[in-house]
Amino acid sequence: MEIIDNRVEKQRQLIEKLQQRNVKLERFYDEYKRVFRNEGERIKELNCLYQVAQYVVIESDTDAALDKIVRIVPHGWQYAKESCARITFKDNQYLSPGFFESGVVQSERIFVETVIVGAIEVFYKPGLASESDDPFLIEEKNLLKGIADIISFYLEKQRDNENGKLIQQQLLHADRLATIGQLAAGVAHELNEPLGNILGLAQLSLKLPEMPDQAQKDLEKIEECVIYSREIIKKLMEFSRQSPLSKEKININEVIDNSITFLEARCIKEGIEIIRQYTENITVTADPNQIKQVITNLTINAIQAMKNGGKLIIVTRKNSKNAVLAIEDTGIGIPADNISKTFMPFFTTKDVGEGTGLGLSVVYGIIRNHNGDIKVSSEPGKGTIFEVCLPLEEN
Ligand SMILES: Nc1ncnc2c1ncn2[C@@H]1O[C@H](COP(=O)(O)OP(=O)(O)OP(=O)(O)O)[C@@H](O)[C@H]1O
Ligand SMILES: [Mg+2]
């Protein structure tokens, strides 16, 4: 009896030991599964991040890069098959294949410098987790933040590239205008003297007694043509910075008001509302007549661009270095192809007799002669802004 009891007791102990070992094994197996799964997840996440980084290095087109990124994003998530992603940037959306929207979502904002320009979101299918539970892992939250940061970096790089190109184009443009200026100055100078002689002789001849009627008419025509030609030469000389400056301290708002008074009646007649947005007390040292010329030429162009009425907005402001004067219209705008040509002498889209194509060349010459700068931005069908910068008096 005692022997049997001992055997039962031993078996019981053995079972207990085995049970304990089993529990340990189960724990070990659970731990093994957890670690293994975690490692699998981490590898997926790293792979996703690596691919995103690859795209931003090799892809120079923003649309193509964002499209590739959004396709790869869901692969980095735990429930890859039940997830999808969306990138929003400005007015565009980039979607991963089979996109759906649901309340189970994780999102990060995309910045360029400090400005929010878009967002990246990852959605899980509804029902995968109750909407109050957060099914996303901490690592997935970090991953999304990392991807958003890479996209921000990429967009900043793209913007810098664009700015670089623009500056290069502007330099090329300024160079070309300088060459045209030199050429124009040379021609203008050569023509000015003989034209002066022709004018003088025509005017002398007109004073001759007993001039036949026809000859009188012809001489008057010659006089008229020479005066017109000299006007053009004067404009060319202004463009090529050949005309002397007579600088004084001027209040920019006053000069604007003086320049546009004679255009106000025309604006009312043509249904154009003038809106003044002035900053007080902006003084620059400049030639008042030439600045008047700038304002007049820009304003006339703006009026001519608003055949069906509109708004003429005149803004003055200053920044640390410059007085800024902007003339904005809501007219026909300038097609992108023409923007770089607008300051070229004789470039005009107006009918014969309506424009010589020298107005903006003169403006350009005057502004450069004052060590200033002029920029144009336009949207066809919406309007145009010309922005003039002149160094502030205190500089
Ligand atoms: N505000 C504007 N809106 C739309 N187009 C403009 C504007 N300003 C200039 N342009 C375009 O630029 C061209 C050149 O302008 P610019 O003032 O040099 O010459 P123009 O107005 O044609 O002739 P001019 O000034 O000699 O009478 C214009 O013909 C027009 O196509
Ligand atoms: Mg003009």
Provide the token pair at 76. Answer: 């980095």
> Counting ligands in written order, which one lies closest to the CA of residue 382?
1
The values of phi and psi at residue 363, to 5°, are -55, -45
Q: How many CB atoms lie within 10 A of CB 99?
A: 14
317 DSSP β-pair partners: 324
244 DSSP β-pair partners: none
From CA 369, how far away is CA 357, in angstroms rounded?
A: 20
The residues, any chain, with a CB within 8 Å of residue 320's CB and separated by 6 or more, are none
Burial of 18 (0-12, 13-18, 19+ CB in 10 A): exposed
User: Which of 200, 207, 240, 241 has its CA nearest to residue 223?
Assistant: 200
Q: Residue 32 has what pLDDT?
A: 64
Rounded to the nearest angstrom, the distance between the alpha carbon of 288 and the centre of ligand 2 is 19
Architecture of domain 248-391: 2-Layer Sandwich (3.30)
Rounded to the nearest angstrom, the distance between the alpha carbon of 369 and the centre of ligand 2 is 19
CA 256, distance to chain mean position in Å, is 28
Decide if 30 contacts 124 (C-beta within 8 A).
Answer: no
Ligand 1 contact, 348 CB (< 6 A): yes
pLDDT by position in tens, the chain (length 395): 666 678 778 888 878 887 887 777 677 667 766 666 677 778 888 888 888 888 887 888 999 999 999 999 999 898 889 999 999 998 899 999 999 998 889 999 999 888 899 999 999 988 776 655 778 888 888 889 889 988 998 998 888 888 777 777 776 767 667 667 777 777 777 788 888 888 888 888 888 888 888 888 999 999 988 888 888 888 777 777 666 778 999 999 999 999 998 899 999 999 999 999 999 999 999 999 889 989 999 999 999 999 999 999 999 999 888 999 999 999 999 999 899 889 887 789 988 767 778 889 889 888 988 999 999 999 999 999 999 999 986 54
Decide if 83 contacts 123 (C-beta within 8 A).
Answer: yes
User: Which of 108, 91, 214, 204 has its CA nearest to residue 152?
Assistant: 108
Pocket test for ligand 1, best of 231, 307, 350 (most atoms within 8 A of CB): 350
Q: How many CB atoms lie within 10 A of CB 209?
A: 4
- Domain range list for the chain: 40-158, 179-239, 248-391
Ligand 1 contact, 240 CB (< 6 A): no
Burial 312-341 (b: 16+ CB within 10 A, else e): bbbbbebeeebbbbbbbbbbbbbeeeeebe
User: Which residue's CA is minimally distant from atom 1 of ligand 1?
Assistant: 302
From CA 218, how far away is CA 202, in angstroms rounded?
A: 10
Burial of 48 (0-12, 13-18, 19+ CB in 10 A): buried
Q: Residue 229 has what pLDDT?
A: 85
Q: Residue 395 has what pLDDT?
A: 47
Q: Cα-Cα-Cα-Cα dihedral of 203, 207, 210, 214, to 10°?
A: 20
Burial of 304 (0-12, 13-18, 19+ CB in 10 A): middle
User: Which of 338, 352, 297 has its CA nearest to residue 173?
Assistant: 338
From CA 60, how far away is CA 64, in angstroms rounded?
A: 8
Domain 40-158 part of CATH 3.30.450.40: yes
Ligand 1 contact, 317 CB (< 6 A): no
Rounded to the nearest angstrom, the distance between the alpha carbon of 342 and the centre of ligand 1 is 7
Rounded to the nearest angstrom, the distance between the alpha carbon of 226 and the centre of ligand 2 is 21
Provide the token pair at 240. Answer: 């090529």
Q: pTM of the predicted model, to two decimals?
A: 0.56
The residues, any chain, with a CB within 8 Å of residue 8's CB and separated by 6 or more, are none
Rounded to the nearest angstrom, the distance between the alpha carbon of 280 and the centre of ligand 2 is 28
> Counting ligands in written order, which one lies closest to the CA of residue 386?
1
User: Which residue's CA is minimally distant from atom 9 of ligand 1?
Assistant: 301
Rounded to the nearest angstrom, the distance between the alpha carbon of 352 and the centre of ligand 2 is 13
